[in-house]
Structure 1
């Protein structure tokens, strides 16, 4: 660590500068000097200082003018300034401290007084800089630890989602490929939305894997029935949305909370005729509206135990025809404008 100090002495009388330098020369100080205020302000632009000894009575720019300028600059505002001057009236002393000087020494002064005060303020300034650096380092460490912990929490949430979807796959006709396609469709659709940033789109992607997690609570005979469900069976099937929400709703974790919303609302319809709550329009969370479209698109274009697959064109036609009834019209517009990209995801 460099223990030397840089001091700037500003005085329009060169003999006064020599006196100060001679008094302080035994210490480990590097001196610069200026014979007027304008010269001093030029010097501080190219060199850093730990202390400035500043006279007040100088032509053109006096000491008060100089300190005002120094305190306005982010680079120089914290440099300690000691007024070293013959002005000993109370008004000048008061003004000097008001403008931000750390000390005020009147001429003539005793050498030991100058040595002591200069040493004290240099040490205080160095200690302050060390403290600021330590605080900066501490803040960096804290932010690093926070980032690491958040990453670990997010990884844990994703692992929980992965385990839950594995359970779902084993108990229903959902497949891992369906879940991945819905996730990619949802993310892509979210990124097209002008009110959703990439980070939130990623949340929707990861949480969408939970959209049908409630099916683990539904009787397997209903889940795997090859034909049309009876009204009673369909009522039982619809319970998977509420059951999933009740399973996930108490989590404080971002991804699980998003999963609770998606699993609860992805069968709601824009016209209010969906289930389980009959929500309408923007009463349905945007997460639910996005995954609703993604889920239907993938379900239509892939074979299920109770139906054959549709072509992408037929599925796209169905979605467009249900714009504003089943699906959010803005999302359908985004879908229509990017059909080739959605087709690539479906056929991947």
Structure 2
């Protein structure tokens, strides 16, 4: 056994202290003593001990109260306390265990018993500390593994989104540049929105490229029609929002859940006149409201098979004109205030 353990002996009888300390010196412990509960608490507050031998019955603050106060100090919550008692008083011994003692010794001391019990409880205490350190180390390893797995899952989600957006480009007139710009606009607007966090901005950046993923389910003759869609064709086109939701809704992963929200809701309107569910105002998720502005601004400012490109200013004026009807007015204000940043993304 190591010989650097620190033990506090507390007894109101000096002779008992002397006998105990003489016995304990056989194992070369570092020893301190107190002749009252008050003095014991002073030493406990100022020093660290590995084990305490504590007399139950003392005038003033007795052993029960010392033990109770001892457990209020975090560093002493598991330090073993062995009660010292002059007789085998079952009630007193029971109170001692309730107060937090781990064992008791009856006075007068028998050297072999005192040494054996002190050694046993010091070894148990040391073993518990080793086990705790091991558990903490194991917990850290588990947390590290969880973080690694989470990173891998997020990377898998990003790869899935990348594959699906490439599929969307292949099956429609959407271009990779449009998808990238919508993601950049969306992240910028999210960063400008006080209610959203940096994590929200990153989520919307990675999820917004999926806003039109439902178009892969739309017939090509409708999707790529160069002229204006008929009423029935437009009704078919509108189903890309619900088809995307049906495709994405079962995922529990945060990026794909966000993609589901965006794909399902980015054609809703602030005034409730949008589709597919005619949501109104803040019934529309903030992600959907943000992407609605980003998608329309980019669609207006770039050429499509059915229309020429608008100027940046005309597109801005359209969005301002439809603030409070099509678009969230608070987001439109942010868009207007930082319009130069949006035009910079559009020109990159």
TM-score with structure 2 setting the length: 0.89
- After superposition, give the CA deviation of every residue in 1:302-326 in whole Å (9 maximum; x if it has no partner): 2323223333332222212212211
- Checking the alignment, whether the CA contact within 8 Å between 1:157 and 1:256 is kept in structure 2 is yes
CA distance in structure 1 between the aligned counterparts of 2:185 and 2:261, rounded to whole angstroms: 18
Q: 1:209 to 1:28 in 2, by over 3 A?
A: farther
SS at 1:72 equivalent? coil
Q: Does 2:180 align with 1:154? A: no
- Checking the alignment, whether the CA contact within 8 Å between 2:248 and 2:256 is kept in structure 1 is yes
Q: 1:347 to 1:13 in 2, by over 3 A?
A: farther
Task: Give the alignment of 1:115-194 within 5 angstroms.
Answer: 115-194=115-194
CA distance in structure 2 between the aligned counterparts of 1:226 and 1:208, rounded to whole angstroms: 25
- Checking the alignment, whether the CA contact within 8 Å between 1:244 and 1:263 is kept in structure 2 is yes
Q: Does 2:260 align with 1:260? A: yes
Q: How far apart are residue 23 of structure 1 and its match?
A: 1.4
Q: How far apart are residue 14 of structure 1 and its match?
A: 4.2
SS at 1:138 equivalent? helix
CA distance in structure 1 between the aligned counterparts of 2:268 and 2:236, rounded to whole angstroms: 16
Q: Does 2:209 align with 1:209? A: yes
CA distance in structure 1 between the aligned counterparts of 2:3 and 2:266, rounded to whole angstroms: 66
Q: How far apart are residue 2 of structure 1 and its match?
A: 6.3
CA distance in structure 2 between the aligned counterparts of 1:28 and 1:169, rounded to whole angstroms: 79
SS at 2:84 equivalent? strand
Task: Give the alignment of 1:241-256 within 5 angstroms.
Answer: 241-256=241-256
In structure 2, list runs of 5 or more residues that go unmatched. none
- Checking the alignment, whether the CA contact within 8 Å between 2:183 and 2:209 is kept in structure 1 is yes
**Corresponding residue number in structure 2 for 1:78:** 78
What is the aligned length?
A: 348
Q: 1:41 to 1:269 in 2, by over 3 A?
A: same
CA distance in structure 2 between the aligned counterparts of 1:252 and 1:324, rounded to whole angstroms: 33
- Checking the alignment, whether the CA contact within 8 Å between 1:56 and 1:87 is kept in structure 2 is no
CA distance in structure 2 between the aligned counterparts of 1:332 and 1:224, rounded to whole angstroms: 30
SS at 1:7 equivalent? strand
CA distance in structure 2 between the aligned counterparts of 1:42 and 1:327, rounded to whole angstroms: 69
Q: What is the CA RMSD across the aligned residues, in angstroms?
A: 2.6
Q: 1:37 to 1:274 in 2, by over 3 A?
A: same
CA distance in structure 1 between the aligned counterparts of 2:204 and 2:38, rounded to whole angstroms: 60
Q: How far apart are residue 3 of structure 1 and its match?
A: 7.5
CA distance in structure 1 between the aligned counterparts of 2:234 and 2:3, rounded to whole angstroms: 81
- Checking the alignment, whether the CA contact within 8 Å between 2:218 and 2:237 is kept in structure 1 is yes
SS at 2:27 equivalent? coil
Q: 1:92 to 1:205 in 2, by over 3 A?
A: same
CA distance in structure 1 between the aligned counterparts of 2:3 and 2:332, rounded to whole angstroms: 68
- Checking the alignment, whether the CA contact within 8 Å between 2:264 and 2:276 is kept in structure 1 is yes
Q: How far apart are residue 57 of structure 1 and its match?
A: 4.7
SS at 2:271 equivalent? coil
- Checking the alignment, whether the CA contact within 8 Å between 2:182 and 2:291 is kept in structure 1 is yes
Q: Does 2:291 align with 1:288? A: no
Compare 151-160 and 330-339 and name the one that shifted more: 330-339
Q: 1:217 to 1:57 in 2, by over 3 A?
A: closer
Task: Give the alignment of 1:326-337 within 5 angstroms.
Answer: 326-337=326-337
- Checking the alignment, whether the CA contact within 8 Å between 2:56 and 2:96 is kept in structure 1 is no
- Checking the alignment, whether the CA contact within 8 Å between 1:249 and 1:257 is kept in structure 2 is yes
- Checking the alignment, whether the CA contact within 8 Å between 2:266 and 2:291 is kept in structure 1 is yes
**Corresponding residue number in structure 2 for 1:97:** 97
CA distance in structure 2 between the aligned counterparts of 1:81 and 1:152, rounded to whole angstroms: 49
Task: Give the alignment of 1:297-336 within 5 angstroms.
Answer: 297-336=297-336
- Checking the alignment, whether the CA contact within 8 Å between 2:9 and 2:33 is kept in structure 1 is yes
Compare 330-339 and 63-72 and name the one that shifted more: 330-339
- After superposition, give the CA deviation of every residue in 1:84-132 in whole Å (9 maximum; x if it has no partner): 2437645533332222111222321222221222122222222222222
CA distance in structure 2 between the aligned counterparts of 1:43 and 1:124, rounded to whole angstroms: 23
Q: 1:12 to 1:139 in 2, by over 3 A?
A: same
TM-score with structure 1 setting the length: 0.89
CA distance in structure 1 between the aligned counterparts of 2:2 and 2:162, rounded to whole angstroms: 54
